[in-house]
Amino acid sequence: MKTFKDLVFVEKPHNMGVSARIEFDNGYGASVVKGPHTYGGKDGLYEMGILDSSGNLTYETPITNDVIGYLSESEVSDYLRKIQEL
């Protein structure tokens, strides 16, 4: 089971924060970002979106119909587990 520790963050240009993408065996994935314009970024928290098998954001899962913001590292791990269980 992949967790927050498996994310590889890269710096976004112009001090816009960091981002990471991860794919799972079930065809889903996640995009996790933190920056000055993300939900929770100013508080050091993360925003996450669920990705479909093409790597595009999807809003049609039982987990959420939007991006999820204001997440701690442990909450990101919880959502990553839920995505992997889809």
- Is residue 24 predicted with pLDDT exceeding 90? yes
Q: Is the pTM of this model over 0.85?
A: yes
How many domains are contained in the chain? 1
Domain that holds residue 25: 4-84
Q: What is the pLDDT of residues 60-73, one digit of tens each?
A: 999 999 999 999 99
Res. 15 pLDDT band, cuts 50 70 90 = confident
Contact (CB, 8 A) for 49 and 5: no
Mean pLDDT of all residues in 26-40: 97
pLDDT, residue 10, reads 98
